[in-house]
Amino acid sequence: MFAVIKTGGKQYRVAANDLLKIEKVEAKVGDIVEIGNVLAHGEGENVTFGAPFVDGAMVTAEVVEQGKNRTVIAFKKRRRQNSRRKIGHRQLLTTVRIAEILLGGAKPSKKAAAKPEAKAEAKAEVAAEAKAEAAPKEPKAKKEAKAETAKEEAKAETAAAPLFKAPKGEPDDLTVIKGIGPVAAKDLNEQGIVTFAQLAKLTDKDVAKIDEHMPFSADQIKDWREQAKELAKKK
């Protein structure tokens, strides 16, 4: 039996035990994920099509690996204007192995992993309840308000911190560096990189960290680092 599924804006024809690379799914290696967008399924010449999806159909898959696709370079040059722009992108991918194709609302033999957001929410609620129980008895309204505050604090604690600590002072316009556009500059700023001097002082270890956690290649970052060194001298 085969099925046609839709995930990450793309369509795939799959069968049991197929190994497939799809757009990144938030799950750990070994987790079972459920794909409910089944466009069609069939066996041989007998095919059932959905409108757009088949009711009660679902495909489950086991996460085999989390990784990245090869770097895609976009280069633009304007003749006689001394204008060049180079930017790269590495798409995050998840390698999965198709486990089951389920029809008619059948339940998977292995349960899908809970979403990270749900885990974070549950963790925040547990922390909030623990703080609320530890506090002395208070009026119900005040107790509920404190529990809600504790819940928000717990959520904030579980949020990911930036890769680097931004220095004090006025930030630089990183888009001056060839290859860094508004979107890339915003991504770097969110990770704590805001000045030419800071970018110029990146070590090879820092470059590897950015390459691992951000959609920029090591070659790109090293090129930006060299340009930032020259710009930092002029300040």
Residue 210 included in any domain: yes
Query: In terms of domains, do 107 and 25 share one?
Result: yes
**d(Cα 170, Cα 123) in Å, to the nearest integer?**
37
Per DSSP bridges, beta strands 2-7 and 72-78 are: unpaired
The verdict on residue 133 lying in a domain is yes
Phi, psi of 229 (to 5 degrees): -60, -40
What is the domain extent for residue 145? Answer: 117-158
34 and 137, same domain (yes or no): no
Residues 19, 23, 27, 33, CA torsion sign? negative
Asked whether residue 10 falls in the same domain as residue 62, the answer is yes
Distance CA 169, CA 167 (A): 7
Sign of CA dihedral 119, 124, 129, 131: positive
131-170, pLDDT tens digit by residue?
Answer: 666 655 556 666 677 667 766 665 554 445 788 888 888 8
**Is 122 part of any domain?**
yes
- Out of 101, 129, 158, pick the residue that ends a domain: 158
* Residues 125, 201 within the same domain: no
**Digit-coded pLDDT (tens) for 160-209:** 578 888 888 889 999 989 989 988 889 899 999 999 999 999 999 998 88
Please tell me whether residues 6 and 109 are part of one structural domain. yes
Shared-domain flag, residues 35 and 17: yes
User: Does residue 48 sit in the same domain as residue 127?
Assistant: no
Cα distance between residue 223 and residue 38, in whole Å? 44
User: Considering its fold, how many domains does the chain have in total?
Assistant: 3
Domain-located, residue 166: no
